[in-house]
Structures are given as structure tokens and as C-alpha cells.
């Protein structure tokens, strides 16, 4: 019987990609993926350290596994990723039954670590160097970009994929643990990235999302005095046959250069969607966060994005309750959201992270209750802005890449696929990253279709597939084609709840 791997992933898209690659590499070693923890030979948790809550979730899961390990001593338990890199000793102290602790920069070693646990019966650690403990060169070398061969069966679908274009971060925002746990910023060679995109396209991938902590800081020195920027990389990727859409996340406001915006405007496959976190609308808070820009700079950047890329949609991140955030400074974040026209914002309560400058220098002085209230208040303002943005799209015809049955449909009908021709509630995304829910045949999954939007909430657009309907006009050319019309059978208002 092939050995079985169970893996749980917490955190960002980078972690989702890492898990996909870990599963792919263990499959090549003969492992099968299982969704049942009880019959797994290897149990991995791919972890996140950005907020305390994410770590707490992993420690409770590990706690629940203590008795499982007593009952199944042969099962190997591994903690991977950011928390492993940050707290290797703490993990072993709090969960001595863990066999493998493997940081973000060492994932390629997992097959070897499993073999060593089996051989020696002793726990194995694989970690990159601490940024303060060695030269930049040595630390860089200890954080390896983990990008083995892709395996389409590992992704939720074969037509969308993440592609890492860089690892690490050098910005050191004072609240953020990422520069410690993901190491120095290092961009991958453009040829390696384009080769990966070609392979993905050959396997049926239509949409790639390029990943980097500050993806628009991407730069690769080609060695002959030339440098490849993100705009150059986008132009190169644009030539990949089969790839229809290129997205990239997450952008740093100061690095939103004009050449990049021009590339987004000029290259038809590059989607007009920019995720550019601002974090706060207050200059004093931004300064304490060491974000390297003012709110005036950010506002100007928004104007520049919209001028250079007409129709672009923009989303953001905010942290509420950072040290020293007074009511008036919070109000400035509310004002920014109210006027910004953001498609959506991800809003987080500040979570102090030991190991960051913010934790060292500033008290966590906004009470939890106030953080919670500010989170809700800011979200309520963003929801109104999102609704306005969505209502403005009603009546428009948009291009949607159909992703699959909606969550609501799956909940009501179970995970099982119901025949390709079955009518179901489907979900997809526009080129501006808006979610569209509609009724259609499952054979549309993976296809790019034109859709007319006829209803909107703050979270979702509702639409119907547009058909090029051939009409019979006896007195005219028989091949005449009517203007796009919403397919009547499918365009009825979808009355199921919003996903
Ligand atoms: N590199 C991206 C950037 O600079 O915008 C974001 C990376 S971070 C993993 C994703 C989001 O988590 C950040 O934009 C920020 O809003 C939030 N975040 C990071 N550290 C946090 C902390 N200590 N407490 C609360 N939210 C945090
Ligand atoms: Fe963290 Fe700032 Fe780097 Fe984003 S830019 S990963 S928030 S340090």
C-alpha cells in the first residue's frame, strides 16, 4: 500500500503554493494524498506566523494529535513553513511529539528528512539562518526558492496556477514577521519563470498569478548590465501560448512604477487588477509602521494607477489598532476607505509579533475591544464602497473565467461532481478580480465566457452567460448574428445565498 500524506495549510497564497509543491514532490516518491488524518503515515502542518491567531490554530491542532501519536507511534508529524522557521525550539517544547520542523527555505529537503526520521527515530530540523546571525549572502543561500516541477493534479483546478517570482522581503515594516521567516528578497531568473509558465500552459493552465511579498519590487540582474523588472517579465510572459490571463500580487505602494502601469495597460493578457495594501490612512501610524510613504503619496499613486490604467480595480489591506492609533488616526483610515473606491479591503486587528521592531519598540496599547470595533466599523465602510463599485457594473458585459461550483452549491449538494451537463450555481472571476455567481452547465468550468451582470451585492456580482444567438431573418443575410444577449434560460436571477 502506498504511504499516505495528510497536509493542512494556513496562511497566504505563498503557503498554498508551497503545500502544492510539497505534495507534488512526495507524490513523486510514491505517496498518496489523504483527507483523513487517521489513516495518514505523514501529517504536515504548513504554518503562518503573520498573526497570533494563525499560530494558536496550529498549536491546538498539534495538541489534539498528542494521543494520536501515542496510538500510532509510526506516524510522522511535521511542522513546516513560517512558524517552524520562527519558533523551532518552542514548537518542540510545546509539542514534543513533532518529528520534523522545516522552515520555508528548506522544503526541498522534506523527503530526506522523512527518511532520516524513519532511520534514526530522532526528530529532524531543517532551518535557514537567522537574518541577524550571518552575512546577507549566507542567509540568502540558506533560503532556497522552492520550485520543483509542477504537478497539475495538486491544484484545485488545472486552468489556474500560482507562480512564484520572488521570495523574501527587505521592507521590514515594523509590525511584520515576514522578512524574518521568509528571508531576504530574492528574485528568480526570468527564463526560469517563463519556462515554468510554459510548462503550466502545456498542462492546460490559462491563468497564472505571479507571487511575491512585494511583487512589484521584482528585479533580476541579467549579468550583462541589463536588469529585468516586473514590466519586462510581464512582456516576456505575455508571449506564452495558452496563457490567457496574468495577475500579480502583492504590490508595495512605493514601487508602483509608471513602466509597470503602462505594461498593465498595454498587454491585453495582464489583468487590470492591483492589490496595493496601504495599512493605515494616518501619517503618524504609517511612520511608526515604517511603510516608507505618506497617505498623500498613496492617494497620488491611486490617481496615477487610474489615469494610466483606465478601468483598473484596486484592493487594499488595513491594520487597525496598531500601537498609538488614536480615534482621530483611525478616522483617517475610515476617510481613506470612504473616498478610495477600493474593490475590497482585507482588514486585520494588529497582532504584536515577537521578533519585530514594532513589538520591541511600541506597546500594544489599543485594547482588544476597540480593535474589534474599529475592524467592524472599517469593514462596514468598505462594504458600502464595494456595493457602489459593484452596482456600477450592473448592465456591463464582462469576461469571466469560470472556476467551479459556488461554495453554496457545494454545501447544498456535497463535494461530488454532478455530471458535466448538470446545471448548477457556478462561480468565476472577471479580469478585474470581481467574483461573479451565475447559473450554468458544469461544462463551462475552465472556460472564459462573456457574461452580463444583472444584480450585485457588496460581495458578489450576479450574471448570466451571453450567447451569440443566431437568428433567422428571412429578408436579410441568413448568417446574421444578433448583438450579444443574455442566455434567457440561464440569466434568471440566481436566488441562492451569496457565497
Ligand atoms: N507583503 C504584503 C504587503 O506588504 O502588503 C503583505 C504581506 S502580509 C503576509 C499580509 C497582510 O497581513 C499585510 O498586508 C498586513 O495587513 C497584515 N499583517 C501583517 N503583519 C500583521 C500583524 N502583525 N498584525 C496584523 N496584521 C498583519
Ligand atoms: Fe511584511 Fe512589509 Fe514585507 Fe509586506 S512589505 S511582507 S508587510 S515587511
Query: Which among 156, 208, 209 has a CA at the least distance from the CA of 407?
Result: 156
- The predicted model gives 340-359 an average pLDDT of 96
Q: State the ligand closest to the CA atom of 346.
A: 1
Range in 70-74, 236-240, 255-259, 268-272 the model is least confident about: 70-74
Quick one: what percent of the chain has pLDDT higher than 90? 80
Check: CB of residue 82 under 8 Å from CB of residue 182: yes
Which is more confident, 166 or 423?
166
Cis peptide before 491 (omega within 30 of 0): no
How many Å apart are CA 285 and CA 352, to the nearest integer? Answer: 15
Q: What is the grid cell recorded at 96?
A: 514534543
DSSP state of 470: B
Report how far ligand 1's centroid is from the alpha carbon of 176 (Å): 6
Maximal CA-CA distance, the chain: 85
- The predicted model gives 397-402 an average pLDDT of 97
Check: CB of residue 439 under 8 Å from CB of residue 492: yes
Does the C-beta of 316 come closer than 6 Å to ligand 2? no
Nearest CA to ligand 2 atom 1: 176
Nearest CA to ligand 1 atom 14: 317
Look at residue 51 in the predicted model and tell me its pLDDT. 95
pLDDT 10s digits, 252-297: 999 999 999 999 999 999 999 999 999 999 999 999 999 999 999 9
Radius of gyration of the chain (CA): 24
How many Å apart are CA 266 and CA 152, to the nearest integer? Answer: 30
How many Å apart are CA 15 and CA 13, to the nearest integer? Answer: 5
Nearest CA to ligand 1 atom 20: 176
Report how far ligand 1's centroid is from the alpha carbon of 121 (Å): 38
Report how far ligand 1's centroid is from the alpha carbon of 317 (Å): 8
Look at residue 417 in the predicted model and tell me its pLDDT. 55
Query: Which among 256, 287, 252 has a CA at the least distance from the CA of 171?
Result: 252
Residues β-bridged to residue 42? 5, 76
152 has a pLDDT exceeding 90: no
How many Å apart are CA 127 and CA 105, to the nearest integer? Answer: 7
Q: Which residues of 321-332 are buried (b: 16+ CB within 10 A; e: fewer)?
A: bbbebeeebbeb
Look at residue 418 in the predicted model and tell me its pLDDT. 56
CA distance to 43, 45, 94, 200, per residue, from 61 (Å): 11, 9, 12, 34
Pairing of strands 461-467, 423-430: unpaired
Q: State the ligand closest to the CA atom of 215.
A: 1
41 has a pLDDT exceeding 90: yes
Prediction pTM value: 0.91
Q: State the ligand closest to the CA atom of 11.
A: 1
Look at residue 337 in the predicted model and tell me its pLDDT. 98
467 has a pLDDT exceeding 80: no
190 has a pLDDT exceeding 80: yes
Query: Which among 299, 318, 289, 312 has a CA at the least distance from the CA of 380?
Result: 318
362 has a pLDDT exceeding 50: yes
Residues 6+ apart with CB under 8 A from 278: 253, 295, 298, 316, 317, 318, 336
Residues 6+ apart with CB under 8 A from 167: 104, 105, 143, 145, 182, 183, 185, 186, 188, 212
Look at residue 151 in the predicted model and tell me its pLDDT. 74
Strands (E), 330-447: 345-349, 397-405, 423-430, 435-441
Range in 8-12, 53-57, 318-322, 463-467 the model is least confident about: 463-467
342 has a pLDDT exceeding 60: yes
- The predicted model gives 403-414 an average pLDDT of 84
- The predicted model gives 460-477 an average pLDDT of 65
Report how far ligand 2's centroid is from the alpha carbon of 176 (Å): 6
Does the C-beta of 173 come closer than 6 Å to ligand 2? yes
- The predicted model gives 10-14 an average pLDDT of 92
402 has a pLDDT exceeding 70: yes
- The predicted model gives 43-59 an average pLDDT of 95
Look at residue 167 in the predicted model and tell me its pLDDT. 94
Report how far ligand 2's centroid is from the alpha carbon of 85 (Å): 17
Does the C-beta of 175 come closer than 6 Å to ligand 1? yes
Look at residue 483 in the predicted model and tell me its pLDDT. 36
Label residue 309 by pLDDT band (50, 70, 90): very high
How many Å apart are CA 75 and CA 161, to the nearest integer? Answer: 31
Look at residue 149 in the predicted model and tell me its pLDDT. 72
How many Å apart are CA 473 and CA 85, to the nearest integer? Answer: 69
SS3 for 386-403 is HHHHHHCCCCCEEEEEEE
How many Å apart are CA 109 and CA 471, to the nearest integer? Answer: 61
Look over the chain and give the mean of its residue pLDDT values, rounded to a whole number: 90
177 has a pLDDT exceeding 60: yes
3-state helix, strand, coil in the chain (%, to 5): 40, 25, 40
- The predicted model gives 407-423 an average pLDDT of 69
Nearest CA to ligand 1 atom 13: 317
Q: What is the grid cell recorded at 45?
A: 502542518
Nearest CA to ligand 2 atom 4: 213
- Which of 167, 169, 174, 176 to mutate for ligand 1's pocket (most ligand atoms within 8 Å of CB)? 176
Report how far ligand 1's centroid is from the alpha carbon of 451 (Å): 34
Which is more confident, 499 or 337?
337
Check: CB of residue 375 under 8 Å from CB of residue 349: yes
Q: Which residues of 381-411 are buried (b: 16+ CB within 10 A; e: fewer)?
A: bbbebbeebbeebeeeebbbbbbbbbebbbe
- The predicted model gives 218-234 an average pLDDT of 95
Label residue 358 by pLDDT band (50, 70, 90): very high
Amino acid at each position: 500500500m502506498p504511504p499516505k500524506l495528510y497536509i493542512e495549510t494556513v496562511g497566504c497564497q505563498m503557503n498554498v503554493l508551497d503545500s502544492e509543491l510539497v505534495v507534488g514532490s512526495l507524490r513523486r516518491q510514491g505517496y498518496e494524498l489523504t483527507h483523513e488524518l487517521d489513516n495518514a503515515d505523514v501529517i504536515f502542518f504548513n504554518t503562518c506566523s503573520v498573526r497570533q491567531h494563525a499560530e494558536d490554530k496550529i498549536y491546538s491542532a498539534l495538541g489534539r494529535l498528542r494521543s494520536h501519536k501515542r496510538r500510532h507511534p509510526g506516524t510522522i508529524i511535521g511542522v513546516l513553513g513560517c512558524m517552524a522557521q520562527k519558533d523551532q525550539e518552542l514548537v518542540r517544547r510545546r509539542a514534543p511529539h513533532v518529528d520534523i520542523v522545516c522552515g520555508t527555505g528548506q522544503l526541498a529537503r522534506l523527503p530526506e528528512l522523512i527518511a532520516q526520521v524513519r532511520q534514526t527515530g530522532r526528530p529532524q530540523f531543517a532551518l535557514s539562518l537567522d537574518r541577524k546571525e550571518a552575512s546577507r549572502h549566507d542567509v540568502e543561500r540558506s533560503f532556497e526558492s522552492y520550485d520543483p516541477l509542477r504537478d497539475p493534479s495538486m491544484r484545485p483546478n488545472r486552468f489556474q496556477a500560482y507562480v512564484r517570482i520572488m521570495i523574501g522581503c527587505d521592507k521590514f515594516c515594523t509590525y511584520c514577521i515576514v522578512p524574518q521567516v521568509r528571508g531576504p528578497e530574492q528574485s528568480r531568473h526570468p527564463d526560469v519563470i517563463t519556462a515554468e509558465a510554459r510548462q503550466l500552459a502545456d498542462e492546460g493552465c490559462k491563468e497564472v498569478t505571479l507571487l511575491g511579498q512585494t511583487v512589484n519590487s521584482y528585479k533580476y540582474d541579467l549579468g550583462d548590465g541589463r536588469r529585468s523588472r516586473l514590466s519586462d517579465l510581464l512582456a516576456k510572459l505575455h508571449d506564452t501560448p495558452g496563457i490567457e490571463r496574468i495577475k500579480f500580487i502583492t504590490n508595495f505602494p512605493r514601487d508602483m512604477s509608471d513602466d509597470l502601469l503602462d505594461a498593465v495597460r498595454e498587454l491585453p493578457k495582464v489583468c487590470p487588477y492591483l492589490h496595493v495594501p496601504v495599512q493605515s490612512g494616518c501619517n503618524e501610524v504609517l511612520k511608526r509602521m515604517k511603510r516608507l510613504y505618506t497617505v498623500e503619496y498613496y492617494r497620488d499613486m491611486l490617481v496615477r494607477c487610474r489615469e494610466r490604467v483606465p478601468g483598473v480595480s484596486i484592493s487594499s489591506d488595513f491594520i487597525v489598532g496598531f500601537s498609538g492609533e488614536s480615534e482621530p488616526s483611525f478616522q483617517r483610515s475610515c476617510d481613506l476607505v470612504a473616498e478610495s473606491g477600493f474593490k475590497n479591503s482585507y482588514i486585520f486587528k494588529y497582532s504584536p509579533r515577537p521578533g519585530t521592531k514594532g513589538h520591541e519598540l511600541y506597546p500594544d496599547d489599543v485594547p482588544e475591544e476597540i480593535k474589534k470595533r474599529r475592524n467592524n466599523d472599517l469593514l462596514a465602510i468598505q462594504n458600502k464602497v464595494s456595493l457602489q463599485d459593484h452596482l456600477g457594473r450592473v448592465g456591463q458585459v464582462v469576461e469571466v473565467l469560470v472556476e467551479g461550483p459556488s461554495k453554496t452549491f457545494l454545501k447544498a449538494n456535497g463535494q461530488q461532481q454532478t455530471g458535466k451537463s448538470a446545471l448548477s450555481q457556478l462561480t468565476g472571476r472577471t479580469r478585474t478580480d470581481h467574483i461573479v455567481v451565475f447559473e450554468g452547465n458544469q461544462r463551462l468550468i475552465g472556460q472564459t465566457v462573456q457574461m452580463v451582470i444583472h444584480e450585485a451585492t457588496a460581495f458578489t456580482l450576479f450574471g448570466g452567460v451571453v450567447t451569440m444567438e443566431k437568428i433567422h431573418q428571412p429578408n436579410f443575410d441568413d448568417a446574421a448574428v444578433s448583438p450579444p444577449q443574455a442566455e434567457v434560460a440561464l440569466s434568471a436571477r440566481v436566488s441562492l445565498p451569496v457565497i
